[in-house]
A = this chain, B = another copy of it.
């Protein structure tokens, strides 16, 4: 059977990814270098993700707020020494006016000091925390914001690397080290719950190695997911910043005994990049496949309008069916149903919704109406068109959605298991796996903390993705020195 996309995953993964996005109408490049337009279907998926994440962020005691998009250069400067490693590809605002000169708009009103469009908000939020926190009574302070951030990208890719992206960034301050560490882990678990539970992307939670930490952090925790080309994608990170940022920004408080201490801070973020992860985890050669909890529509009904005589009757039957379906619940919400009345052929419509990843496409023609049946395609088995009575379909819908949910998750997990090699013993074996054998996927091997490892990995285009929480407890050898080492790490190529 011919596939709906022209490019297959197995042939050219990068081109396939672009085609999935284009055919599902999720997003497109804009005229501004590296900035994307998120189109309605893509944005509705993002809104579902936002809603789920936002609920958990609030349930865990965080308040949403909003900080300015601009960061004064001097403030950046204050942290610059501290966060040496931080990417400095940032958008710099130098003027605050346009004037017309010889019929052309030109910048005018040069600022005394440039402003940076936020690449992340540690500095500006840290400055506010320093003002707001005076006593232990003001702690913990647990803030979150949904915002756009800008990091200039020389090699942009839709959702994965864009100069502007949308995200949430959480920033918290605590009186004690333990409490801040607990917060860091709690928020990673929040990410894991949403990414695995709603997006159905299997992840491996763990800690980053020293060189992969967020610059300035004492520890970075991460959930790592495997895409269908075997590469890793970091699907959420949570940073324990120790007192480093608190000292740079002077976030201090009077403790119960009257002494003054620096707070311990954390930060954590998840972005529109996750939509890229969703696409690369679940899509197939017929386009996007959406886990039901992320789908803007669960069911699209395509009425087959053969002639004027039956037209009204079929449309009415479609609306009646939609209403019955909307009375069902899935994931604690009414089932989302659309009747597609656009001016196009049923086959075109069916394929459009398949490529958009809708869980169920239902066709309903005059004969179906007469017989009380529907013709049904579930996104994980599009070759298998089924005929059900309307009653059967309505009654089974939520079970079927749950089944599809499980199928997508299990397929992703099976892929990861099939592409994971455990316990590689030496750097030579690692090289052989990734280079000689053309292997992909994740490899577990030992990690001793020897800083020499990063350069060696760099030559292979590999990084350490994380030191998984779940450790084997076995003993092995450091890949650099051959000395005994016990910590398991995951090695992979990454997005």
Contacts and interface: CB of A to CB of B under 8 A. Distances in A.
A114 B76 CA distance: 22
Given A31-B127, A63-B40, A69-B150, A77 B104 contact: yes
A294 interface: no
Nearest to A112: B33
Contact of A36 (B68, B97, B99, B114): B68
A30 B68 contact: yes
Interface string A113-145: 011110000001001100000000100000100
Given A88-B98, A143-B40, A164 B64 contact: no
A93 B148 CA distance: 16
A198 to B, nearest CB: 19
A109 B116 CA distance: 14
Contact of A95 (B37, B71, B94): B94
Nearest to A25: B132
Nearest to A107: B92
Interface residues of A, number: 64
Contact of A70 (B32, B47, B73, B98): B32
A31 B164 contact: no
A350 to B, nearest CB: 17
A421 interface: no
A39 interface: yes
A485 interface: no
Given A68-B30, A68-B36, A137-B342, A99 B92 contact: no
A139 B32 CA distance: 26
A105 interface: yes
A139 to B, nearest CB: 11
Contacts of A31: 72, 75, 124, 127
A366 to B, nearest CB: 24
A80 interface: yes
Contacts of A67: 30, 37
A305 B105 CA distance: 65
A157 to B, nearest CB: 15
Given A31-B72, A117-B117, A148-B148, A96 B105 contact: no
Interface of A: 30-32, 35-40, 42-44, 46-47, 63-73, 75-77, 80, 88-100, 104-105, 107, 109, 114-117, 124, 127-128, 137, 143, 147-148, 150, 152, 164, 166, 342-344
Given A42-B65, A70-B91, 16 more contacts: A30-B68, A31-B75, A38-B65, A40-B65, A43-B66, A69-B117, A69-B150, A70-B164, A76-B105, A77-B104, A80-B105, A88-B99, A92-B107, A95-B114, A96-B152, A117-B117
12 contacts: A36-B68, A38-B66, A40-B143, A43-B63, A43-B66, A47-B64, A88-B98, A89-B96, A92-B94, A94-B94, A98-B116, A137-B342
Return the 5 tightest CB-CB contacts between A and B, nearest first. A40-B63, A35-B68, A92-B95, A38-B66, A96-B152
